[in-house]
Amino acid sequence: MPGRDAFSAPGRFFRGNIHTHSDRSDGALSPDAVCRAYAEAGYDFLCLSDHFLERFGFPVTDTRELRSNRMTTILGAEIHAPQNSHGEIWHLLACGLPDDFAPLEPDEDAVALARRAVEAGAFLGIAHPNWSSLSIEDGRQMAGLAHAVEIWNTGCAIECDRGDSGYFLDMLLNDGHRLAAYAADDAHFRIADGFGGWMMVKAEENEPETLLAAMKAGRFYSSQGPEIAGLAVEGGRLRVACSPVSVVAVVGRGSRAVDVVGSDLTEAEIDLTRLAGDWCRVVVTDAGGRRAWSNPLWL
């Protein structure tokens, strides 16, 4: 069960952001400046995901020379193809692309492009579905290929209050699609849109291939600040350990949810009777309103 595997697997948690742009596409800063900013902010890894569009030269921005013994980088891109239910191009996050990933073919649709990216080794995310106003039918097109839904996007939250895509993820979970949930910035650095949401990936080493394998296996959680230290299910009860928070909520299908509310909670035990036989996910919220999200648990 991937949501719990993050806490039982060997290794340690590495903090990273996999959706951010440089001046190789529509970002304000050079790749070097973006990588330096994340390294100085204490991140362990970064994927520069410039827009894989013809007008930018279909870039897979090469950041390998910017790796250090403090922070590694993963090659990737935000890939696009026609068309979603609104007649607009798809936005898909492909973390882990080879640098020679071929440009979009003239008649290639989004599903074919997504499949090609996954076959090339990418961790595929459905980027900012709330910002794109994606429908459940859109989600179903990608759910068999994508590894995860972008549950939080800092830039979209700041610019248009469409940063949270939990509802979209939950609809697909209700369909039975076993998708993970990752947070990212989508920073362009034209405004203060960096360092607002990240992944915590459990791996044995801070190396691109090791991180990618852990991400594909769902061995991570995501956060705006709080830490989730442990999840364990035993005897129909879920035990949660975390940094001090005000709310520990377990949400599931429909209106099903159970919560513990208090001050400086660092652990909670939740009765899963209402959620048994289905899926659930954990959301912890601190006193400042910052959240952390587990990947879904299949009970």
Q: What is the pLDDT of residues 115-168, one digit of tens each?
A: 999 999 999 999 999 999 999 999 999 999 999 999 999 999 999 999 999 999
In the prediction, which pLDDT does 5 show?
87
In percent, the amount of the chain with pLDDT more than 70 equals: 99
- C-alpha distances in Å from residue 79, one per residue of 25, 214, 243, 250: 12, 22, 36, 33
The stretch 284-296 carries a mean pLDDT of: 98
The ranges assigned to domains in the chain are: 2-222, 228-298
Give first-to-last CA distance, the chain, whole Å. Answer: 9
Query: Dihedral of CA 185/117/26/48: which sign?
Result: positive
Mean pLDDT (the chain) is 97
For residue 13, list its beta bridge partners: 202
In the prediction, which pLDDT does 158 show?
98
In the prediction, which pLDDT does 2 show?
67
CATH of domain 228-298: 2.60.40
Query: Residue 280 — φ and ψ, nearest 5°?
Result: -155, 165
Nearest to 144 by CA among 102, 99, 177, 121: 177
For the cut 60, the answer to whether the pLDDT of residue 229 exceeds it is yes
For the cut 70, the answer to whether the pLDDT of residue 60 exceeds it is yes
CATH class of segment(s) 2-222: alpha beta
For the cut 60, the answer to whether the pLDDT of residue 17 exceeds it is yes
The helices-and-strands tally (H runs, E runs) of the chain is: 8, 16
Which residue in this structure is represented by tokens 């074919």?
A: 112
Q: Does the pTM exceed 0.95?
A: yes
DSSP reduced 3-state for 181: strand
